[in-house]
Amino acid sequence: MRIVVRIPPEVNMDLSEAQSPPTPITVKALSETIHNVLDARIGRVDVVGQVNKPSFKHHWYFSLTDGDASIDCAMWASKVSNVQPKGWKPKQGDQVIIRGTIGHYAKYGKTQIYVERMKPAAEEKGALQKKYEALLLELREAGWFDETNKKPLPTYPRKIAVITSATSAAVRDVIETARQRWPAIPLLIVNVPVQGDAAVSAITKAIQRVDEVAEALHIDAIIVTRGGGSLEELWSFNDRSVAEATFHAKTPIVAAIGHESDTSIIELVADHRASTPTQAAMVLVPDAGELMQMVDHFSSRLHTTARRVVERSANRISQLCNQLEASVTHGLHGRVRTISSLNEALQTKRPHAVLRKRQERFMKMESSLLASVTRNLSLRVSRVETLSGKLDAIGPDAVLARGFSLTQRTDGSVIRSSKDAKDGQELMTVLADGTIKSRVECTT
């Protein structure tokens, strides 16, 4: 992992010559001295301020701030009943008046107020809380917190800029998390003060400058982060200019300011809010282990899919081969049948076959004609015989045989009436068994 730390040129490191140290005393002795000085010089005191980071369980722990300074407070359970009005419990940002004594807690080396009484001030909300809520309302109405204005975070960023104090625990958390998840990703550490008078200007300029050079330096995302602190310590990240630089930045920004319970303006404006510096790094830096698992998973899926595709393709090819074979076989059989039919048709068209066929046809026609002629002849003979019989039955010979006779002139013409005969005319009378010649003597 390549880490670049930018240290502002105005930061100088001066080592002055050490003076002769006083006689050393123990830490315990120093703590007792501090406690005695505080108890003697200040004693019991009334303090007005804004409640910050309250933790109200059995004992009450909180800090009191006015925007310029902060002091820790402890109110033991035995003193909670002294809160006025009864049952009232202050909230984050409430303005209160407390009474208590100043002490120095030697074990942790901190000065705090041991609260004996507490009541709400006439103005419940402190100046910082009011300023915070006013800016919150203004930016919400302007749409700066809307999801539609959030830029998507890069899945695999080429480089990440981290704007924070280069000596803070927050930057160490980011570096360590990035090293564990994806050691190859470069981090550009932009060193800025994260609290105090110079912090707002430095943070604003750092965001703007990193955003300007992001494309040239291949920076795909920015982390703005710092560790926990009181409201006034985190106040630089509630400034309008910092929020404005964050909102107008083209590079996606992840903000992780303070603890999870703290919510700063920059976190609401940023494209993504992380509860801790570690989580900010986890949001942007891909996990090599997860990616390897993903690669293994997709490799397994690809192998399975490829095997299925090959199996389906092989089955399809087998089906197509079978269909092709069946089609070729069917087509071949059809061609064979066609060729056989054509061959048969060709055989029938050959001269000797045509001649044989026509001879057969001629023989059939001859036989049929002969049979027809024979049949017709028989019919004609039969009819002639019938007609002959009928003719014989009505013919002259039959009539003559029944005793009739036929009278003719000598020229053979028939005498049909007695008037046709003339006196002295020779006639011939035809009988069944012969002819008689006679002469007409007279007619009656």
Over residues 211-240, the pLDDT tens digits come to 999 999 999 999 999 987 777 778 899 999
What is the structure's pLDDT at 122?
64
Q: Region of 109 please: left (phi>0), alpha (psi -120 to 50) or beta.
A: left
Pairing of strands 110-125, 70-75: parallel
Rounded average pLDDT over 159-178: 94
Asked if pLDDT for residue 123 goes beyond 60, the answer is no
Q: Residue 292 corresponds to which tokens in the numbers above?
A: 């390897």
Rounded average pLDDT over 267-293: 91
Asked if pLDDT for residue 330 goes beyond 80, the answer is yes
What is the structure's pLDDT at 174?
95
Q: By C-alpha distance, which of 372, 409, 1 is closest to 180?
A: 1
What is the structure's pLDDT at 225?
94
Asked if pLDDT for residue 10 goes beyond 50, the answer is no
pLDDT in tens, 14-40: 434 445 567 888 888 888 888 888 877
Residues 6 or more apart whose CB falls under 8 angstroms from that of 77 comprise: 58, 59, 60
pLDDT in tens, 80-101: 988 888 888 998 888 899 999 8
What is the structure's pLDDT at 279?
93
| Average pLDDT for the chain | 85
| CA–CA gap between residue 92 and residue 263 (Å, rounded) | 12
Q: pLDDT band at residue 186, thresholds of 50, 70 and 90? A: very high
Q: Residue 122 corresponds to which tokens in the numbers above?
A: 């006439």
**Greater pLDDT, 246 or 442:** 246
In the chain, list all ranges with CATH 3.40.50.261.
Answer: 132-286
**Element holding 161 (H helix, E strand):** strand 160-164
What is the structure's pLDDT at 9?
46
Asked if pLDDT for residue 63 goes beyond 50, the answer is yes
Report, in this order, helix, strand and coil percent for the chain, each rounded to 5: 50, 20, 30
Rounded average pLDDT over 296-304: 86
What is the structure's pLDDT at 93?
85
Domain 132-286 fold: Rossmann fold (3.40.50)
Q: pLDDT band at residue 326, thresholds of 50, 70 and 90? A: confident
What is the structure's pLDDT at 294?
81
Rounded average pLDDT over 376-392: 84
Lowest mean pLDDT among 138-142, 199-203, 418-422: 418-422
Contact (Cβ atoms closer than 8 angstroms) between residue 255 and residue 273: yes
Rounded average pLDDT over 147-175: 94
Contact (Cβ atoms closer than 8 angstroms) between residue 82 and residue 116: yes
In the chain, list all ranges with CATH 2.40.50.140.
Answer: 27-125
The CA distances from residue 21 to 24, 25, 118, in Å, are 8, 11, 43
Q: Residue 335 corresponds to which tokens in the numbers above?
A: 């061609």
pLDDT in tens, 346-378: 776 677 777 777 788 888 888 888 888 888 888
CATH of domain 27-125: 2.40.50.140
What is the structure's pLDDT at 163?
96
